[in-house]
Chain A
Amino acid sequence: MKKNILISPIILFFLILLVFFYLLITDRNPSELPSMLINKKVPAFEAKLLLENKTFISPGEFENETTLVNFFATWCKPCRDEHPYLKKLSDERGLKIIGINYKDDSKRAVKWLEKLGNPYSSVLLDSNARLGIDWGVYGLPETFIVNSNGVIKYRLVGPITKKNYNAFVLKVKEVEK
C-alpha cells in the first residue's frame, strides 16, 4: 500500500510529461482558431467590386458550384506567395474563386492583379474590414471553401503553399462530392 502511494506520483508525472511531449512534437499551431462559420450559410452582404462598377450580392452568388473565398491584400507577403497556387486552382481545376481585397489600396490591388494574373472571378472591396469581421477573419490570407448550396465547409488560415496544396485540393474534392 505504501509503495503504491510512493510510485503513483512518479507514474503520473511521466504520464503528464508524455502528454506534453506529444503536444510538442505534433504539427499543430496553437494560435489557429476553429471557424464558427463551418456548416453555416455564407453571411449575407453587399460589396462593391474592384474591377467592375457593379455590386456583389451574397448569398445569391454562391449557388450552383463549389466556390473559394480568399481574403487577400497587397500588403500581405504570404498572400503574394499564395497567389501562384490560387492561379493554379483556377486555371487547372477551373475553380470559381472570389477574392476579397481586405483593407487595401485599390490602385495597388489593380496593379498587383495585372502583374501577377487574376485568378478571381470577382474581386470584392473590403476597405473597412466589415466583410472580414462577418467572416471571422483574424489574419491574412484566409481561404474558405463554400459548397454549391452556399454552405461554408472549410477554412484555411494562412497561405496555400507547395506543402499544403495537395491536401487543400483534397478538401476541395471532398466538398465537391
Chain B
Amino acid sequence: MQRILLAIVVCLMMSQIITLNCNSVEPDEFLQNPKKELRARNISKNVRCLVCQNQSIDESSAHLAKDLRILIRRKIIQGNSDEEIYSFLTERYGDFILLKPPFKIGTLLLWVLPFVFLAVGIFVIFLYNNKSKKLDYNK
C-alpha cells in the first residue's frame, strides 16, 4: 500500500501537479554561492513582475521578470546590499514593484485604516449591546 502511495506521489510530482518549489528561476541564472543565491531568491519573492502584476518575479516567466532576476544577481555580486537593490528598483518602477507596500506618509491610510475600521466596529457593537440591554430592562 505504501509503495502504491509513493508511486502516486512521484507520478504527481513528475507531472507537476504537486510541486514542492513553485518558481520560474532557470538553472542558468543560479549563482555559485548558495548564500548569495538565497538572498537573490528572497529579494525576487518581494518584487512584483510588472507584466503579470500579481506574481513575483520569482514565479513569473515573463521576459522582464527574467531580466530583473539577472539584474538582482548581478547587483549582489557587485556587493550591493538588499536595501540598495530595492531602492534601485523603486527609483525606476515606483513602490508598486514591491509586493508589500512600505509604511510611509503616502501609504499611511492603507496601513492604518483597517485598524480604524476595527475600532469603529467594536464601538458600534458595544453601543448596540448597551442599548439592547437597556431595552430588555424596560420590558
| A residues at B contact (CB < 8 Å) | 31, 33-34, 36-37, 103, 128-130, 132-136, 138-139
Contact = CB atoms under 8 A, between A and B. Distances in A.
Contacts of A130: 71
Contacts of B50: 33, 138-139
Interface stretch (B32-40, B60-68, B99-107): B60-68
5 contacts: A36-B91, A130-B71, A138-B50, A138-B64, A138-B93
Given A33-B50, A133-B68, A103 B63 contact: yes
Contacts of B90: 36
Contacts of A133: 67-68, 71, 92
Contacts of B63: 103, 129
Interface of B: 50-51, 53, 63-64, 67-68, 71, 90-94, 96
Nearest to A138: B50
A74 B50 CA distance: 21
A138 B51 contact: yes
Q: Does more than half of chain B's interface fall in helix, strand or loop, or is it mixed?
A: helix
A103 B64 CA distance: 10
Contacts of A129: 63-64, 67
Contacts of B91: 36
B96 to A, nearest CB: 6
Nearest to B95: A36
A97 B90 CA distance: 27
A134 B68 CA distance: 11
A135 B51 CA distance: 15
